[in-house]
Amino acid sequence: MKKEQKNIGIVPRHVAIIMDGNGRWAKSRLLPRNFGHQQGVSRMIGLMEHAYDLGVEYVTVYALSTENFKRPKEELEGLYNLVRKHFVEGVRRVCDRGVRLRVLGDVSLLPQDIQDLVRKVEADSAQYEGRGVNIALAYGARAEIVRAANEAIAEGKPLTEESLSDRLYTAGQPDPDLIIRTGKEKRLSNFLLYQAAYAELYFSDKMFPEFSDADLEEAFEEYARRTRRFGKTDEQL
Ligand code: IPE
Ligand code: IPE
Ligand code: MG
Protein backbone atom coordinates (compact mmCIF):
# COMPACT_ATOMS: atom_id res chain seq x y z
CA MET A 1 0.00 0.00 0.00
CA LYS A 2 1.27 3.45 -0.87
CA LYS A 3 2.18 5.53 2.12
CA GLU A 4 0.28 8.76 2.25
CA GLN A 5 2.54 11.78 1.73
CA LYS A 6 2.30 14.12 4.68
CA ASN A 7 2.03 17.80 3.93
CA ILE A 8 4.27 19.46 6.45
CA GLY A 9 4.52 22.95 4.99
CA ILE A 10 7.80 24.83 4.80
CA VAL A 11 10.73 22.54 5.39
CA PRO A 12 13.96 24.01 6.80
CA ARG A 13 16.72 24.24 4.23
CA HIS A 14 19.31 23.40 6.89
CA VAL A 15 18.45 21.40 10.01
CA ALA A 16 20.96 20.77 12.79
CA ILE A 17 20.47 18.17 15.52
CA ILE A 18 22.05 17.93 18.96
CA MET A 19 21.71 14.19 19.45
CA ASP A 20 21.51 14.04 23.22
CA GLY A 21 20.21 11.38 25.61
CA ASN A 22 21.81 8.15 24.39
CA GLY A 23 23.30 7.43 27.80
CA ARG A 24 20.12 8.07 29.79
CA TRP A 25 18.06 6.08 27.28
CA ALA A 26 20.34 3.07 27.86
CA LYS A 27 20.54 3.56 31.63
CA SER A 28 16.75 3.58 31.98
CA ARG A 29 16.76 0.14 30.31
CA LEU A 30 19.64 -1.12 32.47
CA LEU A 31 21.84 -1.30 29.36
CA PRO A 32 25.41 -0.03 28.90
CA ARG A 33 25.79 3.59 27.74
CA ASN A 34 27.55 2.45 24.60
CA PHE A 35 24.50 0.43 23.59
CA GLY A 36 22.64 3.73 23.70
CA HIS A 37 25.23 5.26 21.39
CA GLN A 38 24.84 2.32 19.00
CA GLN A 39 21.07 2.85 18.84
CA GLY A 40 21.78 6.55 18.41
CA VAL A 41 23.87 5.93 15.31
CA SER A 42 21.11 3.91 13.60
CA ARG A 43 18.56 6.60 14.46
CA MET A 44 20.89 9.29 13.13
CA ILE A 45 21.14 7.58 9.73
CA GLY A 46 17.36 7.04 9.59
CA LEU A 47 16.65 10.68 10.41
CA MET A 48 19.10 11.90 7.79
CA GLU A 49 17.43 9.81 5.11
CA HIS A 50 14.00 11.04 6.17
CA ALA A 51 15.13 14.67 6.22
CA TYR A 52 16.42 14.49 2.63
CA ASP A 53 13.21 12.73 1.56
CA LEU A 54 11.27 15.68 2.99
CA GLY A 55 13.35 18.15 0.96
CA VAL A 56 16.03 19.31 3.41
CA GLU A 57 19.30 20.34 1.73
CA TYR A 58 21.71 20.33 4.68
CA VAL A 59 21.72 18.15 7.77
CA THR A 60 24.22 18.81 10.56
CA VAL A 61 24.57 16.46 13.50
CA TYR A 62 26.51 16.97 16.71
CA ALA A 63 28.25 13.64 17.25
CA LEU A 64 31.16 14.45 19.60
CA SER A 65 32.10 17.70 21.30
CA THR A 66 35.57 18.76 22.42
CA GLU A 67 34.19 18.62 25.96
CA ASN A 68 33.15 14.98 25.45
CA PHE A 69 36.87 14.07 25.46
CA LYS A 70 36.62 14.42 29.25
CA ARG A 71 34.41 11.30 29.41
CA PRO A 72 35.75 8.00 30.79
CA LYS A 73 38.26 6.30 28.51
CA GLU A 74 36.04 3.24 28.20
CA GLU A 75 33.12 5.27 26.83
CA LEU A 76 35.38 7.10 24.37
CA GLU A 77 36.88 3.81 23.15
CA GLY A 78 33.34 2.50 22.65
CA LEU A 79 32.44 5.62 20.68
CA TYR A 80 35.54 5.29 18.50
CA ASN A 81 34.73 1.65 17.76
CA LEU A 82 31.21 2.65 16.83
CA VAL A 83 32.54 5.33 14.47
CA ARG A 84 34.87 2.75 12.90
CA LYS A 85 32.13 0.15 12.43
CA HIS A 86 28.67 1.64 11.92
CA PHE A 87 28.94 5.38 11.81
CA VAL A 88 31.24 5.80 8.81
CA GLU A 89 29.46 3.01 6.96
CA GLY A 90 26.05 4.63 7.54
CA VAL A 91 27.27 8.07 6.57
CA ARG A 92 28.76 6.62 3.39
CA ARG A 93 25.37 5.13 2.49
CA VAL A 94 23.77 8.54 2.96
CA CYS A 95 26.47 10.17 0.82
CA ASP A 96 25.98 7.58 -1.92
CA ARG A 97 22.55 9.12 -2.47
CA GLY A 98 24.33 12.24 -3.76
CA VAL A 99 25.11 14.04 -0.52
CA ARG A 100 28.42 15.72 0.23
CA LEU A 101 30.05 15.10 3.60
CA ARG A 102 31.86 17.75 5.56
CA VAL A 103 33.38 17.07 8.96
CA LEU A 104 33.16 20.01 11.36
CA GLY A 105 35.76 19.99 14.10
CA ASP A 106 39.38 19.36 14.95
CA VAL A 107 39.70 15.90 13.46
CA SER A 108 43.38 15.77 14.44
CA LEU A 109 42.22 15.07 18.02
CA LEU A 110 40.82 11.70 16.89
CA PRO A 111 42.72 8.41 16.37
CA GLN A 112 44.55 8.42 13.04
CA ASP A 113 42.52 5.59 11.47
CA ILE A 114 39.27 7.48 12.15
CA GLN A 115 40.72 10.62 10.61
CA ASP A 116 41.60 8.62 7.50
CA LEU A 117 38.15 6.99 7.34
CA VAL A 118 36.15 10.21 7.53
CA ARG A 119 38.49 12.13 5.22
CA LYS A 120 38.07 9.35 2.64
CA VAL A 121 34.25 9.67 2.68
CA GLU A 122 34.65 13.45 2.50
CA ALA A 123 36.88 13.15 -0.57
CA ASP A 124 34.68 10.54 -2.26
CA SER A 125 31.56 12.67 -1.82
CA ALA A 126 33.22 15.96 -2.84
CA GLN A 127 31.78 15.51 -6.35
CA TYR A 128 28.23 16.05 -5.07
CA GLU A 129 26.57 19.44 -5.02
CA GLY A 130 23.27 20.66 -3.67
CA ARG A 131 22.84 18.46 -0.63
CA GLY A 132 25.22 18.25 2.28
CA VAL A 133 25.69 16.39 5.52
CA ASN A 134 27.87 17.88 8.26
CA ILE A 135 29.15 15.72 11.07
CA ALA A 136 30.39 17.70 14.06
CA LEU A 137 33.12 15.47 15.44
CA ALA A 138 35.65 16.74 17.98
CA TYR A 139 33.75 20.00 17.55
CA GLY A 140 33.53 23.07 19.75
CA ALA A 141 32.05 26.34 18.52
CA ARG A 142 34.33 28.58 20.56
CA ALA A 143 37.41 26.78 19.28
CA GLU A 144 36.02 27.10 15.74
CA ILE A 145 35.63 30.87 16.12
CA VAL A 146 39.05 31.35 17.75
CA ARG A 147 40.68 29.33 14.98
CA ALA A 148 39.00 31.52 12.35
CA ALA A 149 40.06 34.70 14.15
CA ASN A 150 43.67 33.51 14.45
CA GLU A 151 43.75 32.69 10.75
CA ALA A 152 42.66 36.23 9.96
CA ILE A 153 45.26 37.69 12.38
CA ALA A 154 48.00 35.60 10.75
CA GLU A 155 47.01 37.00 7.37
CA GLY A 156 46.81 40.51 8.82
CA LYS A 157 43.20 40.90 7.68
CA PRO A 158 40.42 42.50 9.73
CA LEU A 159 37.38 40.27 10.17
CA THR A 160 33.93 41.10 8.86
CA GLU A 161 30.80 39.06 9.52
CA GLU A 162 31.15 37.53 6.06
CA SER A 163 34.88 36.84 6.25
CA LEU A 164 34.45 35.19 9.65
CA SER A 165 31.63 33.02 8.26
CA ASP A 166 33.89 32.06 5.38
CA ARG A 167 36.55 30.80 7.78
CA LEU A 168 34.23 28.57 9.79
CA TYR A 169 33.89 24.84 9.09
CA THR A 170 30.50 25.57 7.50
CA ALA A 171 31.95 28.07 4.99
CA GLY A 172 29.74 28.54 1.95
CA GLN A 173 26.70 26.86 3.50
CA PRO A 174 23.45 28.49 4.60
CA ASP A 175 23.13 28.96 8.38
CA PRO A 176 20.94 26.40 10.14
CA ASP A 177 17.25 27.35 10.02
CA LEU A 178 16.26 24.92 12.74
CA ILE A 179 18.26 23.42 15.59
CA ILE A 180 16.69 20.44 17.32
CA ARG A 181 17.95 19.17 20.65
CA THR A 182 16.68 15.89 22.05
CA GLY A 183 17.20 14.61 25.59
CA LYS A 184 15.29 17.22 27.63
CA GLU A 185 18.14 19.71 28.12
CA LYS A 186 17.66 23.24 26.88
CA ARG A 187 21.09 24.49 25.95
CA LEU A 188 23.45 24.64 22.97
CA SER A 189 26.50 23.05 24.63
CA ASN A 190 29.02 24.88 22.44
CA PHE A 191 27.30 23.98 19.15
CA LEU A 192 27.29 26.34 16.12
CA LEU A 193 27.30 29.46 18.30
CA TYR A 194 28.03 31.83 15.40
CA GLN A 195 25.84 30.12 12.81
CA ALA A 196 22.86 29.83 15.18
CA ALA A 197 22.26 33.59 15.35
CA TYR A 198 18.77 33.36 13.80
CA ALA A 199 18.07 29.64 14.01
CA GLU A 200 14.73 28.50 15.37
CA LEU A 201 15.30 26.29 18.43
CA TYR A 202 13.27 23.16 19.10
CA PHE A 203 13.63 21.03 22.22
CA SER A 204 12.32 17.51 22.58
CA ASP A 205 12.01 15.62 25.84
CA LYS A 206 12.62 12.36 23.99
CA MET A 207 16.01 10.72 24.32
CA PHE A 208 17.77 10.58 20.95
CA PRO A 209 17.38 6.82 20.26
CA GLU A 210 13.59 7.22 20.50
CA PHE A 211 13.31 10.40 18.40
CA SER A 212 11.34 9.01 15.45
CA ASP A 213 10.78 10.14 11.86
CA ALA A 214 7.33 11.28 12.99
CA ASP A 215 8.98 13.38 15.73
CA LEU A 216 11.14 15.02 13.06
CA GLU A 217 8.01 15.82 11.07
CA GLU A 218 6.43 17.31 14.18
CA ALA A 219 9.48 19.55 14.64
CA PHE A 220 9.19 20.64 11.00
CA GLU A 221 5.49 21.36 11.42
CA GLU A 222 6.25 23.54 14.42
CA TYR A 223 9.02 25.26 12.44
CA ALA A 224 6.55 25.99 9.63
CA ARG A 225 4.22 27.68 12.13
CA ARG A 226 6.89 30.04 13.48
CA THR A 227 7.30 33.61 12.26
CA ARG A 228 10.91 34.47 11.49
CA ARG A 229 11.20 38.23 11.68
CA PHE A 230 14.97 38.74 11.58
CA GLY A 231 14.51 41.94 13.56
CA LYS A 232 11.67 43.34 11.44
CA THR A 233 8.01 43.90 12.37
CA ASP A 234 5.20 41.65 11.20
CA GLU A 235 4.03 44.44 8.87
CA GLN A 236 7.40 44.55 7.13
CA LEU A 237 7.43 40.86 6.27
C1 IPE B 1 24.77 12.25 23.30
O2 IPE B 1 24.25 11.40 24.30
C3 IPE B 1 25.87 11.59 22.51
C4 IPE B 1 27.22 12.07 22.83
C5 IPE B 1 27.50 13.12 23.56
C6 IPE B 1 28.33 11.31 22.30
P7 IPE B 1 24.86 11.41 25.76
O8 IPE B 1 25.96 10.41 25.84
O9 IPE B 1 25.25 12.78 26.17
O10 IPE B 1 23.63 10.92 26.58
P11 IPE B 1 23.21 11.42 28.03
O12 IPE B 1 23.03 12.90 27.95
O13 IPE B 1 24.29 11.01 28.98
O14 IPE B 1 21.93 10.73 28.29
C1 IPE C 1 26.11 17.69 23.56
O2 IPE C 1 25.69 16.76 24.48
C3 IPE C 1 27.14 17.07 22.63
C4 IPE C 1 26.62 16.09 21.70
C5 IPE C 1 25.36 15.76 21.54
C6 IPE C 1 27.62 15.46 20.87
P7 IPE C 1 26.33 16.65 25.94
O8 IPE C 1 25.63 15.55 26.63
O9 IPE C 1 27.81 16.53 25.83
O10 IPE C 1 25.98 18.08 26.56
P11 IPE C 1 25.97 18.57 28.07
O12 IPE C 1 27.28 18.17 28.67
O13 IPE C 1 24.83 17.91 28.77
O14 IPE C 1 25.79 20.05 27.98
MG1 MG D 1 24.25 14.28 27.15
**Residues making up the chain, counted from first to last:** 237
Q: Does residue 80 form part of some domain?
A: yes
4 inside domain: no
CA of 23 to the centre of ligand 3 (A): 7
DSSP for 73-137, written as a single string: HHHHHHHHHHIIIIIHHHHHHHHTTT-EEEEES-GGGS-HHHHHHHHHHHHHTTT--S-EEEEEE
Number of domains, the chain:
1
Provide the residue range defining the domain that includes 98. 17-224
Q: How confident is the model at residue 21 (pLDDT cuts 50, 70, 90)?
A: very high
Strand arrangement of the beta sheet that strand 200-203 belongs to = 100-104, 132-139, 58-65, 14-18, 178-181, 200-203
180 closest CA partner among 38, 60, 94: 60
* Statement: residue 56 has pLDDT above 90: yes
Ligand 2: residues within 6 Å at CB? 18-20, 62-65, 68, 185, 187, 189
pLDDT in tens, 140-191: 999 999 999 999 999 999 999 999 999 999 999 999 999 999 999 999 999 9
Pairwise CA distance, residues 79 & 92, whole Å: 18
pTM above 0.85, yes or no: yes
Whether 12 is covered by a domain: the verdict is no
Atom of ligand 2 nearest to the CA of 68: 9
- Is 7 contained in some domain? no
Is residue 6 over pLDDT 90?
no
Closest CA to 52 of 125, 131, 128: 131
Within a domain: residue 219?
yes
Q: Among 60, 61, 68, name the best residue to mutate to test ligand 2's pocket (greatest count of ligand atoms within 8 A of Cβ).
A: 68
Which residue out of 20, 22, 34, 177 is catalytically annotated?
20
- Collect all residues with Cβ–Cβ distance below 8 Å to 93 and sequence separation of at least 6: 45
CA 203, 89, 176: angle at the middle one, nearest 5? 30
Residue of 7, 34, 68, 215 marked active site: 68
- Is position 234 within any domain? no
Q: Residue 5: inside a domain, yes or no?
A: no
The answer to whether residue 231 is domain-embedded is: no
CATH number (domain holding residue 49):
3.40.1180.10
